[in-house]
Structure 1
Amino acid sequence: MNDFAGRVALVTGAGSGLGEAIARRLLAGGARVTLVDNRAERVQAVAARYDPTGGSTLAVTADVSDARAVEEAVARTCAHFGALHLAVNNAGFTGERGVNTGEYSVEEWRRVLATNLDGVFHGLRHELPALLASGGGAIVNMTSAAGIVGVEGEPAYVAAKHGIVGLTRAAALEYATRGIRVNALAPGFIATPDLLASPPQEREALAALHPMGRLGEPHEVAEFAAFLLSERAAFITGGVHVIDGGYSAR
């Protein structure tokens, strides 16, 4: 698993769930990782859990909806580790559910897009120049099965996740000959701590949406992200890679 030795990565939303699982996988592969999250206690706990000696992680508290904060996180990474080769723009949240587009509030629309879509743009805006300066690398943007199909009652989240697909493809084309690969990963419903905290009947209903009849596991998504970031995926860019137990195949 020493596939990321000598590489420096940045992962947003690294304080829990998919971000934590991806950061853990990259650390296990030998990478040094900047862990970014908007809650200091969570990201510091992840750093202590997987890097108790403190030599392989940098914990940064930042809200990805703030362009300046993301710029600072990238700058701190390069100053601390001397380079940036890999990035995972994972931070996001669902927002209000069960509200149709005609009743959805403008405030909630802007709040959801600010993190889910603007946050990915802010990441790319500052990660891409840093990767170029470091000799190239790879980026994974976290979209969702909701970025491929429609979902009722979640217009802002669906719009943001579809937007990430377009942003990923545009960046992939722009940097394809410059040593940087950009891909999107589209999970279905994953057994993250937040989802597992929901009532059992809700979890069962979500699991049943997948033809495989279960929720995905964070480590499964982390392994796919690691593949896309690795040299094993050297000819893969601009793709939207689904890991959803068949959800979007219906």
Structure 2
Amino acid sequence: MAERVALVTGAASGIGAAVVAELARRGWRVAGLDLRHSTDVEHGVSVDVADPTQVNAAIARIERELGQVEAAVCAAGHYAITPVADIPWTEWRRMLRVHLGGLLNVCRAVAPAMAERGRGAIVGVSSELAIGGGDGEAHYAAAKGAVIGLVRALAVELAPLGVRVNAVAPGPTDTPLLPPESPWRRPAYLQTLPAGRMSRPEEIALAAAYLVDEGTFCVGEIISPNAGAVI
């Protein structure tokens, strides 16, 4: 187990950083991709996950230096609240390029070798908003919904080859992605949740790590730790 290599995108903060820590605790050697450099990752590479050329080069370098990637968790992303009529087309496209394109770029880079070896695990990070929707979050919810569609399609395609593809769809999580003034942090909203609070990134990391390590019969599953926001 100590020699198994995992790749995490969005590794410098939030859910991605928590996944890095959890997989490292479990004995994985972890490589992280992020626009920002992270000192908490054994092998960090500065990459725009929306750029397939950068992703391919980074993963080739990681496999030369650490070994073959056997698990990938795609947590890179960004978030914004904007009424649908006010969303610039550039931001519509960027949401899709980062969330959907980032997942696709990683999958295209790692899945062929995983399939050749007959084993591997890929975990996308979607959102509870892809399931329940959200006011002023059409571009984010659409991109995260597309992640679910891609995960389920790839799960069907790759499961016969020994590669498991699944996703986590967190509810509001206490990370820097949600600014202090976010409506998801307001006490009035939190009181509507059965759990009464936001998730912690470490809790989402446990769900992702389960799909990597223990969830060997999970194929195309969407685990949504959302504090009861969507049941």
User: Considering the TM-score relative to the shorter chain, is it more than 0.5?
Assistant: yes
Query: What residue in structure 1 maps to residue 220 of structure 2?
Result: 238
The CA RMSD measured in Å over matched residues stands at 1.7
1:162-213 Cα deviation digits (max 9, x unpaired): 0000100010000111111000100001111343x51487623453352211
Query: What residue in structure 2 maps to residue 46 of structure 1?
Result: 40
Query: What residue in structure 2 maps to residue 68 of structure 1?
Result: 53
Query: Per the alignment, do residues 132 and 202 of structure 1 end up closer, same or farther by CA in structure 2, a change over 3 Å counting?
Result: closer
Matched, 1:110 2:104: no
TM, length-normalised to structure 1: 0.87
Matched, 1:161 2:144: yes
1:71-102 Cα deviation digits (max 9, x unpaired): 1121112111221100001101113x1312x3
The residue identity in structure 1 corresponding to 2:135 is E
Query: What residue in structure 1 maps to residue 62 of structure 2?
Result: 77
Where do 1:1-250 residues align within 5 Å?
4-40=1-37, 43=38, 45-47=39-41, 57-95=42-80, 97-100=81-84, 102-195=85-178, 197-199=179-181, 203-205=185-187, 206-230=189-213, 232-249=214-231
Distance 1:203 1:21 in 2: 20
Query: Per the alignment, do residues 160 and 237 of structure 1 end up closer, same or farther by CA in structure 2, a change over 3 Å counting?
Result: same
TM, length-normalised to structure 2: 0.93
Distance 2:77 2:20 in 1: 16
1:101-129 Cα deviation digits (max 9, x unpaired): x3322111112111111111111111211
User: What is the CA distance between 1:7 and its match in structure 2?
Assistant: 1.3
Count of residues paired in the alignment:
230
Identity, % of aligned pairs?
38
Distance 1:170 1:202 in 2: 31
3-state secondary structure, aligned to 1:182: strand
Distance 2:7 2:56 in 1: 12
Asked if the contact 1:189–1:207 (Cα under 8 Å) also holds between the matched residues in 2, the reply is: no
Distance 2:183 2:127 in 1: 22
Asked if the contact 2:79–2:177 (Cα under 8 Å) also holds between the matched residues in 1, the reply is: no
Structure 1: gaps spanning 5 or more residues: 48-56
3-state secondary structure, aligned to 2:61: helix
Distance 1:234 1:46 in 2: 28
